[in-house]
């Protein structure tokens, strides 16, 4: 399984399938105006690309002009499960002995 943040896939609202869309034909053009908007999608396309070490060509799976489609499910409520982060032990140990009124000292005891 590959997990990617919704924002890396340009989703502005993943619960409704809304993605950011820049409709400019050539985004490299310095004179082109920003035309950022949104649109809704029902699925996302997924490719696997394998590049040969000996040639400049690449192989696209399932094909360059086709993709595996991953359907999107809509949701209205979020299921949340709280879990402690890995750094909780180190942070709680630091906070037990930390005095915010003390000035930090360097190795030689000088500030």
Structure tokens at 41: 């999608």
Tell me: the pLDDT tens digits for 20-51?
A: 988 777 766 656 566 788 999 999 998 888 88
- Tally of CB atoms within 10 A around 73: 7
Are residues 37 and 53 located together in one domain of the fold?
no
Average pLDDT, the chain: 82
In eight-state DSSP terms, residue 6 is G
- Give the residue numbers spanning the domain of 67: 44-72
Residue 99 confidence class, pLDDT cut points 50, 70, 90: confident
Are residues 36 and 54 located together in one domain of the fold?
no
Number of structural domains the chain divides into: 2
Higher pLDDT, 111 or 39: 39
Alpha helices, H only, 5-100: 88-97
Kindly report which listed range (14-23, 28-37, 76-85) carries the lowest average pLDDT score. Answer: 28-37
Q: Is residue 6, in this structure, part of any structural domain at all?
A: yes
pLDDT score recorded for residue 64: 83
Nearest Cα residue to 38 out of 16, 15, 22? 22
């Amino acid at each position: 399984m590959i997990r990617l943040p919704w924002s890396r896939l340009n989703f502005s609202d993943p619960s409704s399938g809304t993605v950011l869309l820049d409709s400019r034909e050539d985004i490299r053009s310095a004179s082109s105006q920003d035309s950022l908007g949104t649109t809704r999608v029902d699925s996302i396309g997924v490719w696997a690309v394998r590049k040969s070490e000996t040639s400049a060509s690449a192989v696209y799976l399932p094909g360059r002009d086709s993709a595996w489609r991953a359907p999107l499910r809509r949701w209205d409520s979020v299921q949340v499960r709280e879990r402690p982060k890995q750094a909780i032990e180190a942070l709680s140990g630091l906070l037990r002995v930390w005095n915010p009124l003390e000035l930090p000292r360097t190795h030689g005891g000088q500030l």
